[in-house]
Structure 1
Amino acid sequence: MFSSQRHLKRRTPAQGIDRREYIGHLVDEYYTTTNVEAQEQVTANLANFAYDPINWPHLHAADALDVFVASLETPNQNLQLHGIAALCNICLDNKVSEFLRDQLDIVIGLFLRTDHTEIVIHSLALFYQLLNAGLVEKTQLLTPAVLKCVQEWRLKSQDKRQIIRRLIHHLQQVQVVKRFTQKDLEEFAKFTGDYNYIHSKDVPVEQRRVHGALLNAVVAGIIGSKLPGPGTVVLEQSFKFLKPCRIEQETVVTVRLINARKISTVEYDCRQNDEVVFAGNAKLLTQSQSSKTNES
């Protein structure tokens, strides 16, 4: 349950200190104590405070965000867990999302090196919330190294919680919605020279087809800019056109990362009215691998 100011006032003893002051004392104790157990207790308390939005201004005022990030860089897994849990709790606050954009390297670094399942879960939940709220770009967060790590955890994790499956599934796919127009078809025909009449105004709108190569180009755009992202090279591709794709209809294009190894694999499809009109898969050389190839 979230709190109200009235509720907090009622719970504070007459001679007690208020919430803001108490949080400030906790932050001071984190930096002044030399006792690791005391630091663990402090970060656990601060992480609990981060759960309730009414405490967020107090955490800001006390610079508790710096404590959360500092704890990620310690070798102590309890401190790391408390820090990432706190950031996961508070990340949707606008000020925190701005702060986190500058600290993403630290957060990602912890995710890549940890072997602690709960830290992984909180990291994935943090990534999910940031991406789902549009607070960070996928290309900024889902680097080839992160995607590879997500894939490895998916394969080895024995955790059957549904939330874990959903988080990993979300992080390993990109979905865009397109609505192709006659102008799109004409521009594409002009560029490629494909003036087949089935794409032209000579055919009734309800029978007019979007160029198959245009659908594949949209998929290529996602692969090259979002998942896996810049630097990706397509090595091999296989696809089928299952039904005509019509203009002026919502077209949902989805690319899913199946594995993120030396040679990555993606599957993709385009749907109209929940029916698959185009589907395929591709083998890819990701940025780190393609750069090595270019250097050799």
Structure 2
Amino acid sequence: MFSSHRHLKRKTPAEGIDRREYIGHLVDEYYTSTNVEALEQVTANLANFAYDPINWPYLHEAEALNVFIAALDTQNPILQLHAVAALCNFCLDKNTAKFIVEKISILRNVFLSTDKADFVLHSLALYYQLLSAGLSSKQQIITPELLKRVQHWRESSNDERVLCSQPQSKLKQVQVIKRFTQQDLETFSQFTGDSNYIHSKDMPITERRVHGALLNAVVAGIIGTQLPGPGTVVLEQSFKFLKPCRVETDTIVTVRLIKARKIATVEYECRQHDDVVFAGNAKLLTPKEVA
């Protein structure tokens, strides 16, 4: 429950310090204490204060944001968790969101290396809030490397709160990242007989194209194994090749379930550098356990 200034005044004893002063003391203690448990208690308290918007001016005044970033930049998973939990709430403040975007590389580094599901879940919520705020470009906040890590968590986590652990019938979107190599193109050419020179080493790498059918094959792989899943049969497809798909470039492949019925509908796209290079939709015959 959020507080009012009148409520805070009524709750503060006459001889006690007010919340503004207490937050300042907590920030000072973080920088002066050498006791790990004390630091963990400080960040826990500051994270609790970050929950209520009435405290945000006090947190700004005490420069608590620097504490949260410093805690993120440690090797202590408890401090890191307190910090990301605080930022997850505090980021609803516009100035805070701008500050976090400026320090986004620190959050990203922890996200890429952590094995703590709680940290991942708070981070995903924070990333969502930052994207929704529209204060920065998507590319600055979300990198291909980060998306790969999200994909790893989706596929390997045993935590029931993580999306990947839900039954496939509950999934609404699957996203994978592919980087097509020249070896991929040559293998595909050999298998299909498509030896068009635009896919070969005869073309400069900046002009070389990935086979359109190879992109569609990756989409088919997602449809048949993840969304909707095994047993799915493609009945009808419509797609467009909007731009050349280049080799040795991260390609984000997204499949979305639009209608989950016996005859299901999916939409899909492939992006490079935020440009859609391939997009389409399909009608699918799904097995009963998937529909």
1:62 is aligned to 62
**What amino acid is aligned across from residue 114 of structure 1 in structure 2?**
T
* Mapping for residues 90-239 of structure 1, pairs under 5 Å: 90-161=90-161, 172=175, 234-235=210-211, 236-238=214-216
**What amino acid is aligned across from residue 122 of structure 2 in structure 1?**
H
Structure with the higher helix share, 1 or 2? 1
Q: What are the Cα deviations for residues 51-95 of structure 1, in whole angstroms up to 9, with x where unaligned? A: 000000000000000000000111111111111111111011011
**Maintained 8 Å contact 2:155/2:164:** no
1:162, CA displacement in angstroms?
7.2
**Maintained 8 Å contact 1:72/1:80:** yes
* Mapping for residues 6-25 of structure 1, pairs under 5 Å: 6-25=6-25
**Maintained 8 Å contact 1:242/1:277:** no
- Identity of paired residues, percent? 53
Q: 1:266 to 1:14 in 2, by over 3 A?
A: same
Q: What are the Cα deviations for residues 165-212 of structure 1, in whole angstroms up to 9, with x where unaligned? A: 89x978959xxxxxxxxxxxxxxxxxxxxxxxxxxxxxxxxxxxxxxx
**Whole-Å Cα distance in 1 between the matches of residues 98 and 154 of structure 2?**
29
1:37 is aligned to 37
1:281, CA displacement in angstroms?
5.9
Range moving further from structure 2, 33-42 or 236-245 = 236-245
Runs of 4+ in 1 over 4 A off after TM superposition: 162-166, 168-173, 239-245, 262-265, 268-271, 276-282, 284-287
**Maintained 8 Å contact 2:174/2:255:** no
SS in 2 for 1:126: helix
Structure 2 gaps, min length 5: 177-208, 220-234, 241-248, 259-263, 275-291
Structure 1 gaps, min length 5: 174-232, 246-261, 288-296
**What amino acid is aligned across from residue 237 of structure 1 in structure 2?**
L
Give aligned pairs, total.
Answer: 207
1:266 is aligned to 253
**Whole-Å Cα distance in 1 between the matches of residues 124 and 17 of structure 2?**
36
**Whole-Å Cα distance in 1 between the matches of residues 41 and 265 of structure 2?**
55
**Whole-Å Cα distance in 1 between the matches of residues 172 and 152 of structure 2?**
13
Range moving further from structure 2, 128-137 or 57-66 = 128-137
SS in 2 for 1:127: helix
**Whole-Å Cα distance in 2 between the matches of residues 7 and 163 of structure 1?**
39
1:35, CA displacement in angstroms?
0.6
**Whole-Å Cα distance in 2 between the matches of residues 140 and 43 of structure 1?**
27
**Maintained 8 Å contact 1:112/1:146:** yes
1:87 is aligned to 87
Q: 1:78 to 1:171 in 2, by over 3 A?
A: farther
Note the aligned Cα RMSD (angstroms): 3.7
**What amino acid is aligned across from residue 121 of structure 2 in structure 1?**
I
**Whole-Å Cα distance in 2 between the matches of residues 4 and 38 of structure 1?**
29
**Maintained 8 Å contact 1:128/1:170:** no
Q: 1:156 to 1:13 in 2, by over 3 A?
A: same
**Whole-Å Cα distance in 2 between the matches of residues 151 and 158 of structure 1?**
14
1:134, CA displacement in angstroms?
2.1
